[in-house]
Amino acid sequence: MLSIDKKLLIYLLILILPCKIIGKEEKFEYHFIKIENDSLVFNFEVKNIFAEPVVEGLNKGMTTVLEYKIQLWKKRSLWIDKLVAEDILRFKINFDIWSKRYIVFKNKEKPGAFDINEVKEKCQKLPHYSLCSCKDLENNKEYKIAIKVTLHPISIENYKEIQRWIVGEAKEIDTEVIKQPKKAGKKAGNWVLGLVLNLSGFGDQVINARSQSFSINSHQLIFVKE
């Protein structure tokens, strides 16, 4: 005989698996990378991170955090690549049932209220992003931008850990706290919930977005053929 948990899992898989297959697209695009005002700047967009299952989850009271870990690497032929610059952007998004608006927190900035299209515009795009000064770059050396985009769901149990992360008190999220909050292992069905979140499109999503390689010569950016 199947246990109640297994029966529930099979039932949920039947309901949500087609939704996952339809909404799984994970795409990104660097619209441009260039030198401007003695800085390396770029336009970046991650597409469909707020797919329909994620929006539905937000509307039902779930909360999510979105992190961009932005790095610039210099290629070294005889040694491992060197990290030249790094920045981290963090967003926390939840839905206010009274105003019917999505509340977006960005690092330590004052939160704002938006509709879903404005949320996508604000959170899925890094327009004209200045990563570092040209003074940090060497002529005729090969570089590459690497962006790790991570979407994390939040539960009540791990809210405090996420809050520390959002305001910068914690450099990284404690994955053990996130995955195994206090007494979570004793709660029947938690493993089912985790699988359901992933299959429904509201579990962790990770996108690793690497740019085309480029070099700098007299403040001119030259793309390297790959």
Helix (H) or strand (E) holding 159: helix 159-166
Single pTM value for the model: 0.70
Is residue 48 within 8 A of residue 84, CB to CB? The reply is no
Binned at pLDDT 50, 70 and 90, residue 155 comes out as low
Domain total of the chain: 1
Helix (H) or strand (E) holding 10: helix 4-22
> Residue 143: exposed, middle, or buried by beta-carbon count in 10 A (0-12, 13-18, 19+)?
buried
From CA 17, how far away is CA 101, in angstroms rounded? 29
pLDDT for 188-199, tens place per residue?
A: 344 444 444 444
Q: Domain containing 61: what range?
A: 4-223
Q: Return the higher-pLDDT residue of 214 and 23.
A: 214
Q: What is the mean pLDDT of residues 26-55?
A: 89
Is residue 99 within 8 A of residue 113, CB to CB? The reply is yes
pLDDT for 48-80, tens place per residue?
A: 888 888 888 888 887 888 999 999 999 988 789
Q: 129 - beta bridge partners?
A: 42
Closest CA to 41 of 226, 205, 218, 211: 211
217: its two tokens: 């010569």
Angle at the Cα of 148 (from 63 to 83), degrees rounded to 5?
A: 140
